[in-house]
Structure 1
Amino acid sequence: MTPARRANLTRLLSPRHIAFVGGRDAEVAIGEAERRGFRGAIWAVNPRRDALGGHPCFRSLADLPEAPDAVFLAVPAPAAVEAVAELARMGAGGIVCYTAGFREAGATGAELERRLIEATGDMALIGPNCYGMINYLDGAALWPFAHGGTCPGWGAAIITQSGMLSSDITMAQRSLPLTHMISGGNQSVLTIEDFIDHLADHPAVRAIGVHIEGLRDVRSFEAACLKALDRGVPVVALKTGSSRIGARLTVSHTGSLSGADDLHNALFDRSGVIRVKNPSELLETLKFICVSGAPAGPRVAGFTCSGGGATMLADHAEIIGLDFPAFDAPAQAELAGMLPPIATVSNPLDYTTPIWGQPGITGPVFERAIALAKADAAVLVQDYPAAGLDESKVYYLNDAFAFCAAARRHGIPAAICATLPENLDAETRDMLIARAVAPMQGIDETLNAIAAAARWSAMRARLSADRPQPLLPAVPRNDVRMIEEAEGKQWLSALGLAVPEGRVVAGEAAPIAAAEVGFPVVLKMMGPRLAHKSEAGAVAVGLVDAAGVARAVADMRAAVAARDPAALTDRFLVEEMAERPVAELILSVRSDPQFGLALTLGSGGVLAELIGDSATLLLPATAFEVESALRGLKVAHLLGGYRGAKAVDIAGLAARIAGFAEAVAARADVLAEVEINPLFVYDKGGVAVDVLIHEWAAT
């Protein structure tokens, strides 16, 4: 974004005057600006109407008193292009182009969109085909439908690619403080990353929520999110839609293990972005962060006045890795002395109904338990009575305010959550926000939000100390060809990985070659149609003598001929048989046209697709990042020395994998994908038993 466009985006988001151009849609938008409390000048523009929304109409843009800071444009697409060009000449700040009929409408619309982009110049343009923007801080709205949402002077800025979702969020009954709402539409000029970059500088923006269907520029997105991270502004992403890696590499296993969704996860991890699963989790996570802040760690003190609530907290926390640390014996004794005899001292703590609503008793319990747990955050479960049945509400509030005070004295983020989302009324939500305690709706959503915020703190510390290197560029080529395994293993040796000793011979020479290599051996038929040899019957293992090798050659010829006669060849790879490993890994480096180079690693062999145990990192990746990914896999239990087996030097293994990925990246102009499955891992080394390599075809 150029400096001129950045300045114009500021004018668009915080305008002194707004021109509304169009008919009925523009008239509705005028009403929404007034609903939001806009105090600047409103100029209606329509050559065929005398007034819009009670405002006299200017016949043309040229008749306006001056170049408008902001324009809501709702005219047909061809006229919109002409209006944008005229506004650029006038020196307008920016435009919300509500008009549809551009790229989403086919080739003719795509050409109109190209002309629209060209006409925009240095102006800021949101859309086209979007709802627009609401600035809750300054009371400005360029929005074509009724909307809700409140702002206490700070809160979350939300950017969506879905107009309807943005509208739904403004209507949500969750008391999320909002600063901005932006519906980006086609993102022809301004994109998600532009808005993140701009809003991260705003002192009232405590977090940024983004709904992503697809990213235009992953490198700009990463830079914008890292800027927000540096400013202490968490970015929370709801990514919808997932797909697998491009069909050109479908013969590899990696495509089924790691597609576009995993690449987005890898991007979020290296950018310090929190990912959530659904809109409710998006709003609750933003609310917790904006109201309470991000905890320094994952230790939580939990309180309920019900054994059932305590169990639900503990159960979900265990699933997501949130820590409710147990009290040691002295702490248990101290708390037992403060609680009724029927209470069981645990964390989460059911403080029981005999002391319910008595802040002189519950307050000290809350405060002491938080201290004894060394908690980074605290949560109290309360489901409030419905209106008309709320004569006991005072007791709920007594405990709530005592809990708020205890959390404030310890200086930790805190939340009061309802088991059922609807059981926390608006009045109570507002009172809790005023006390900087997040009013959360749903136990799972609450704990997910706390865990996500704690992870963000850890990501920020990690990325501040070790900023990732810029992503490696994609290779802009499409056609690939498969390299046979024997040649592929020569590549692996050149790239620094050990491979079994072997040689390629005709079938009649295989027994002699096997004797020279040394029994036992593995026999494989080579051929361009034999990417997955086991499925074709083109591999035999554990051959212990020359006669066995000769029989295997004959059997293999018969099996391949029966399955696919065109795949039959007389070229065989004879290899020494590797010893039984501690574990088997799959290891892949491949090029993605949008994300660049990616490293995928996971459980290998027959488990590669069976259990889906994999992790993906975007390159370049450090040995520390690879080690963290390895330790997060299910196969890490084997690597650590399962049931008395030798433990693998995981740090050393990670360093070798990182070095291998770097070596492949250095040849990315030649290699499109290198997949090793399996990589036999030993306590002090590893051997690539099978490899599938695709190289870029000659142009």
Structure 2
Amino acid sequence: MSNQIDAIMNPKSIAVVGASNRPGSVGLAVISNLIKGGYQGVLYPVNPKTQSVQSIKSYPSLSDIPDQIDLAVIIVPAKVVSNVLEEAGKKGVKGAVVITAGFKEVGGEGVELENKLRETAHEYGISVIGPNCLGVINNDAHIRMNASFATKMPLPGNIAFISQSGALCTSVLDYADGRHIGFSKFISFGNKADVNEIDLLNYLKDDPETDVILMYLEDISDGHKFLEVARDIAWNARKPMIALKSGRSAAGARAAASHTGSLAGSDSAYDAIFRQSGIQRVDRIDELLDYGVAFAQQPLPENNRIAIITNAGGPGIMATDAAIRTGLEIAEFSEATKEKLKRDLPPTASINNPVDVIGDATHERYEASIRHILLDENVDGAIVILTPQAMTDIVETAQVVPRAAELINKPVLCSFMGIVDVSEGIKVLEKNGFPNYAFPEQAVRAMASMVRYSDHMKYGDRDYVHYDVNEEAVREIIRTKLKDRDSSYLTQQEANVILKHYGFPVLPSKLITDVKQIPDAGKEIGYPVVMKIMSPDIVHKFDAGGVILKIHSDEEARQAYEKILENARAYKADAKIEGVLMEKMAGKGIEVILGAFKDPKFGPMVMFGLGGTFVEVMKDVSFRLAPMWKLSAERMIKTTKSYKLLQGVRGNPPSDIEAIQDCILRLSQLVTEHPEIAELDMNPLIVYPEGQGCSVADSRILLKK
């Protein structure tokens, strides 16, 4: 597909079908943009109603053009687009951009028209971007193609932008122009009837003009393919990617039989995909461009130790607070650096981080401070803040930033605060490749994004772990349970059998269906025990009074057995009761939850987080797509707030995090090999101190065909 997209992005000849001289028409905008943008190939307007468009000879149809056409830009009514595509196919056209709207986005007949468009494109082997898109822009000096109806050609740069929304593209172009941000490629792909975001990422991976990829997405066509391509871009091509994905709303969360299902909102899969592929996710357009320009123009930081240089105390404190919030560390300068700062700064200046060079700072004072600080081995990057004061030489200060940072491979982001007074200084910074942000917090967030990406690229085992398990035994259990039904809920007793086959640390247990079984079961398991109702109709056992803990004798067990049955019948009179499970009482540890569910679009997903009965209230959970790397398992644990508890707090020892990681990877393998598992909970998974493992204290599984 990459070679076919090249026909769209690097055409030697373009036919604009629907080109027009009519003021205000899309046909006029597209042909004018191609001319004004300086397109380096040959243009062929196609319009049967006129002899020329913008002084270029026009042809009645594609078939009438005597030469080879690489790309057709189509701007005709939706009902005739497929006819034009068919004509293009017969002429040997390799690529098409369908700007026309009125397809699946309007429903009804539009869906049928889009299906026909797709069929025609596939029949003739034409790669199609669109329909319902703004168009495409290639800023390569050898092409200079603006095949869109945007208002202007963007500045050249090393950032590629792809978007499902055409209207958003025009806003981004305008905003970027105001901030002097350039693009290598700018692609609006609309309804993605043929070429989708995965195809475009694959193309941009090998594009020599692109170093950073920004994207606006409304959905992802194939989660696993997207993940595969994005990982290739991140780890092999080493190109940072930043995404704005709309639709974070939890409105898509569904009623579910498990904690995992209820916690997995509509956006969980997308968060997981982005995390696993190394993509930075943002919530706003300004963040998308803030981060993108930092990645495009500055080197990555080695670590998170940041220095702040300012001529005003307040903004320095604001930047410090923002740095701490976003996980950055305020660097501790070496004594040698402090001595140099003390020598070159006035006595009233602060030589500690943040460095306050005082309001009357000259550019010489800034230059010395920046240079000394960047040369300090304890500093990984710097943020330079300037507030415009009467004595501030703004342009000269902007000029010293690149000079002070010369030959030092550390990122420097600036915040020359304001708009009017600092405008000339900002131009100098941007000309020299130093991003500027209106406020310090923006610069800090951009630096934090670079640190996260740098950290993501450094460590971890990027291999899949495969355990020796009894896959066939589990397959037979599932086959039996779904033999005569579409779905089946497995109680803990049944779920534990499956978990045992995959090597999970399941506690000893016995199903009691008669009080006479209690003495032998108690002897076999050993007290203390916990007893639980086993019923496919009672999912949340605590709510039904179906769990009794800390049972120390046969007599207590008999009483618990009767009480649990009584509570269960009172809770749901018609519940099918299989018995009461007697289970070894787990030792003291931290309760976490491990779960999985089958996303309808992306397949199996694994969840980890703080467990127990309040899991749905706390919502301290993290999701990943299965199968997953060992690295993904490590990081999904670390991204939860409960990770601090697992590290050991208030005199408690560190927990066995390696045991949790092992269970996560086993679960990833289980749900990958058995797609019939629709939902699965292990809650709680009791985690013991480091080196002592963990235990599955409760479990449930929902199977679906």
Do both share a fold (TM > 0.5)?
A: yes
Select 1:168's aligned residue among 157, 171, 178.
Answer: 171
2:154 — aligned with what?
A: 149
CA distance in 1, matches of 2:206, 2:367: 39
Show the 5 A alignment for 1:31-50.
31-50=32-51
CA distance in 2, matches of 1:53, 1:384: 48
Counterpart check, 1:279 vs 2:314: no
1:143-542 matched pairs, under 5 angstroms: 143-147=148-152, 149-151=154-156, 154-172=157-175, 173-229=178-234, 230-242=236-248, 250-354=256-360, 356-359=361-364, 361-372=365-376, 374-383=378-387, 395-419=393-417, 422=419, 427-462=424-459, 466=462, 479-506=486-513, 508-509=515-516, 512=519, 515-516=522-523, 517-542=525-550
Amino acid at match of 2:409: G
In structure 2, the partner of 1:696 is: 704
The equivalent position to 2:598 in structure 1, one of 591, 596, 605, is 591
How far apart are residue 618 of structure 1 and its match? Answer: 2.5
Q: Deviations over 1:632-671 (max 9, x none)?
A: 43323332333223332323442344245434544x1453
State the alpha-carbon separation in 1 of the partners of residues 318 and 99 from structure 2.
Answer: 45
Report the CA distance between 1:461 and its aligned residue: 3.5
Q: Is the partner of 2:228 in helix, strand or coil? A: helix
**C-alpha deviation, 1:98, in angstroms:** 1.1
Contact 1:77/1:101, CA 8 A, preserved across alignment: yes
Q: Distance in 2 between matches of 1:467 and 1:497?
A: 21
User: Is residue 334–residue 378 contact of structure 2 (8 Å, CA) maintained in 1?
Assistant: no
Contact 2:15–2:46 (CA under 8 A) maintained in structure 1 = no
Q: Is the 8 A contact 1:280 1:445 kept in 2?
A: no
The residue matched to 2:18 in structure 1 has which SS?
Answer: strand
User: Deviation string for 1:448-489 (max 9, x for gaps)?
Assistant: 2222223223333347x736699xxxx9x9953211121112
**AA partner of residue 365 (structure 1):** S
Q: Which residue of 2 aligns with 1:127?
A: 130
Partner of 2:475: none
Distance (Å, rounded) in 2 between the aligned partners of 1:570 and 1:621: 36
Q: State the SS of the aligned residue for 2:167.
A: helix
Cα 1:467–1:622 shift into 2, 3 Å: closer
- Percent identity (aligned): 26
SS at match of 2:344: coil
Residues 496 and 660, structure 1, Cα contact 8 Å, conserved in 2:
no
* Kept in 2: contact 1:561–1:568 (CA 8 A): no
1:656-695 correspondence runs (5 A): 656-666=663-673, 668-683=674-689, 684-695=692-703
1:277-311 deviation digits (Å, cap 9, x = unpaired): 21100001111111223333323222110111111
Verify the 8 A CA contact 2:261 2:679 in the aligned structure 1. no
The equivalences for 1:60-99 within 5 A come to 60-99=61-100
Q: How does 1:1-20 map to 2 (within 5 A)?
A: 1=1, 3=3, 5-12=4-11, 15-20=12-17
Give the equivalent residue in structure 2 for 1:388. none
- In structure 1, what is the Cα distance between the partners aligned to 2:580 and 2:542? 14
The answer to whether the 8 A contact 2:527-2:552 is kept is yes
1:635 matches 2:631: no
Q: Could you tell me how far apart the structure 2 residues matched to 1:130 and 1:87 are?
A: 19
Contact kept, 8 Å, 1:45 with 1:61, in 2: the verdict is yes
How far the C-alpha of 1:51 sits from its partner, in A, is: 4.5
Please, which runs of 5 or more residues in structure 1 have no aligned partner? 386-390
Secondary structure of the 1:58 match is coil
Describe the shift of the 1:636–1:219 C-alpha distance in structure 2 as closer, same or farther (beyond 3 A). Answer: closer
Aligned residues: 675
- Identify if the C-alpha distance between structure 1 residues 90 and 626 changes in structure 2 by more than 3 Å, giving closer, same or farther: same
Q: CA deviation at 1:442?
A: 3.2
Q: In the alignment, is the contact (CA less than 8 A) between 1:288 and 1:440 conserved in 2?
A: no
> Residue type matched to 1:364 in 2?
A
Change (3 A) 1:87 1:428: farther
Structure 2, unpaired ranges of 5+: 467-477
Say what the alpha-carbon RMSD is for the aligned residues: 2.9
Q: How big is the shift at 1:81?
A: 0.5
Q: Distance in 1 between matches of 2:403 and 2:368?
A: 10
In the TM superposition, residue 187 of structure 1 has moved relative to its aligned partner by 0.7
Secondary structure at the counterpart of residue 525 of structure 1: strand
Deviation at 1:241, TM superposition (A): 1.2
Alignment partners' CA distance in 2, 1:88 and 1:622: 43
Letter in 2 for 1:67: Q
